[in-house]
Structure 1
């Protein structure tokens, strides 16, 4: 098994079970950057590794922040994650690597040219919108956390997408209305456009929703830690 992928799985497994994780954090900090480039050769390697890293470190960092009910948004910006002697923030992992160097804001249409070169080399070649249903940012409206396995990631992402959309979407068929997660609006460009969003949701419910009007529910930012599946 790819040792770097295994390390990300072990870290998240230990976080999930409230076991010591300091050794994995230390090993990640001492990795060789060139080895990461080699070992995370495909987009599926990158997605499995960085989703596990993001979900692990959100839980770790959240313990260091004051225990308010509402999430402190600074947690996403702080570059306190050290991997291969390089500093990452949760934002740089999500938007720089997994969203292929896009701005946090901009509805998914704007690329950010200011990411450092090492982020560019680590980022995915093709943005996969399903990562939005795998990353857990510690809020009630976030999808649950799963340990992602490279060998199973395609199936895991499909199941995560189906489960999240099904739980976060209301179809009002008489009025031809869709009420769904605000993630689709915030990252609209990642999904394509409103037509594509309806197709994605329609695939889950096995319905043609092209004539439906879509609206987006308020995101619940109340903190919810340890939401593992």
Structure 2
């Protein structure tokens, strides 16, 4: 019995340490984003001049411990990791667009919680494939003006559901993101590239959008996709 209690004690210490470590990461990420993000745009210049805070966060991402069974912590961690690695990639190579760096999304590897992953791996394998939540597309920010805006706070397990919902509402009520002229509704190519995510419930893209709209879409709306703006989202 004493041996069992000892084992359980050390397990609880490990879980507590892991949780505390992730809390520290979310706190540090929150301070970094609050300092360098305004109105969805990133001050890459100031980060480039003083990258120590970002580099500290990358070190925390590299050595973090996350478990899919703790789904809220897992999702929050990988969303933040994606957004921060995008910022680092743009800062390191002084990019005018993430597409200026070959393989930015699909071949350049990053250390994430002990694994070697591309940005696409984080998005598609760690998040989309595991949780099937279309709202990820409004919180994963690819460093371009065509993306929904980056918020100036970290995603946290305790607030993740509220943050996912709010960022989706914000995007789908943004006149720049959802462009309406008479009965024509032009939407981001995100909806074209990831159509299966938005229609997974058997509803159309327009029905998905309508669910989050404060003002109804036009009757008999016709859907189109406008060209994605890959220019970097800098201040």
Task: Report deviation, 1:55.
Answer: 0.5
Q: Which has the larger radius of gyration?
A: 2
Whose relative contact order is higher, 1 or 2, with alpha carbons under 8 Å and at least 6 apart?
2
Question: Which one of the candidate residues 71, 74, 91 is aligned to 1:46?
Answer: 74
TM-score, with normalisation over the residues of structure 2? 0.72
TM-score, with normalisation over the residues of structure 1? 0.74
Partner of 1:27: 60
Q: Determine whether 1:201 maps to 2:206.
A: no
| 1:98–1:127 contact (8 Å) kept in structure 2 | yes
Give the 4+ runs in structure 1 shifted more than 6 A: none
Aligned residues: 195
Partner of 1:130: 135
Deviation string, structure 1 residues 106-146 (Cα, Å, up to 9, x no partner) = xxxxxxxxxxxxxxxxxx2x310000000110111111223
Out of 153-162 and 206-215, give the one that drifted further.
206-215
Structure 2: unaligned runs, 5 residues or longer? 1-15, 36-46
Partner of 2:99: 71
Task: Report deviation, 1:70.
Answer: 6.2
Separation in 2 of the partners of 1:66 and 1:170?
31
Tell me the C-alpha RMSD between the 2 structures: 2.6
Return the structure number with greater helix share: 2
Task: Report deviation, 1:58.
Answer: 0.6
Task: Report deviation, 1:179.
Answer: 1.2
